[in-house]
A and B are shown apart, each in its own frame.
Chain A
Amino acid sequence: MGAVSILAPVIIAAWPAFSSAVVAAAASLGYQVASEAKNQAAAAAQKLAQPVRLEIERSEVVTDQLGRDQHMTVTRSGITVTFSRDARGRASLHVTGSGQSQEELRALGEELSQRVVQQYVYQKLMDEMRKRGFNVVEEEQNEDQSIRLKVRHWEN
């Protein structure tokens, strides 16, 4: 071995890459994508009572002027989560539901936002490793929900 490192993820993504991670994360937790459209989802979310708002730390969704109002909404059993890019460019989510406490909604939002970060890192690593000529020789999902990858490359 050469080194063992721990890295904290930083999300700097265009909307397509970010929304791709949202779709994968939502599907893995049983959510369905409700809509992805400018303004529409945000307007719908605002009508629901007392949403819990969370930010995804160390995130920046880069976009051009035209893409600034993009949102994506996912739902599961009466829970609605809307992802968007806030005014500072940070990825944020609004969680609403009926019958859940604010703490329960916050916990659901945190679970989903963590999964989005994990899926973003997974997709980016897979993409970058392949670009650099590495082969993924093992991939498994552990019981603690972590993802393990083994990648190899024979260097000339």
Chain B
Amino acid sequence: MPLREFDITIGKTGEVELHIKGYKGRACHEAVKMFEQIVGEMKSQRETSEFYEPDEQVQFNIEQRH
């Protein structure tokens, strides 16, 4: 079971800084979309190395071939 975690800081003006952990690729985009629906407009975004890691399912298939 993967751990999904959000570290959220609500600044004194209401601006939200969101650190997303445990999501990769498309799942990360979906998590961001969820926060856009809850909070508002995206001002900036920076993907971290985990974002570019393959999804769990893809990784599993590769391991099966070896």
Interface bits A118-149 vs B (CB < 8 Å: 1, else 0): 10111011001100101000000010111111
Question: A4-12, A78-86, A92-100: which lies at the B interface?
Answer: A4-12
A114 touches B13 (CB 8 A): yes
B16 touches A121 (CB 8 A): yes
Q: What residues of chain B lie closer than 8 Å to A5, measured between beta carbons?
A: 17-18, 20, 32, 35, 42, 44-46
Chain A interface extent, by class: 35 or more
Most buried by A among B2, B4, B21, B31: B4
Contact flag A2-B38 (CB < 8 Å), given A118-B13, A147-B9, A149-B10? no
Q: What residues of chain B lie closer than 8 Å to A2, measured between beta carbons?
A: 20-24, 27-28, 31, 47-48, 50-51
B43 touches A144 (CB 8 A): no
Q: What residues of chain B lie closer than 8 Å to A145, measured between beta carbons?
A: 12
Residue of B8, B10, B45 near A3 (CB, 8 A) is B45
A152 touches B1 (CB 8 A): no
Q: What residues of chain A lie closer than 8 Å to B15, measured between beta carbons?
A: 6-9
Contact flag A7-B48 (CB < 8 Å), given A125-B8, A155-B1? no
A17 within 8 A of B: no
Question: Shortest Cβ distance from A87 into chain B, in angstroms?
Answer: 23
B20 touches A114 (CB 8 A): no
Contact sample, A vs B, 26 pairs, CB 8 Å cutoff = A1-B49, A1-B51, A3-B46, A3-B48, A3-B51, A4-B20, A4-B48, A5-B45, A5-B46, A6-B18, A6-B42, A6-B43, A6-B44, A9-B40, A10-B39, A58-B41, A114-B13, A121-B10, A121-B39, A146-B10, A148-B9, A150-B8, A151-B6, A153-B4, A154-B3, A155-B4
* Beyond A7-B15, A120-B14, A149-B7, 15 additional pairs, beta carbon < 8 A: A2-B24, A2-B51, A3-B19, A3-B23, A5-B18, A5-B32, A7-B35, A9-B40, A117-B14, A125-B39, A132-B34, A144-B11, A147-B10, A148-B10, A150-B5
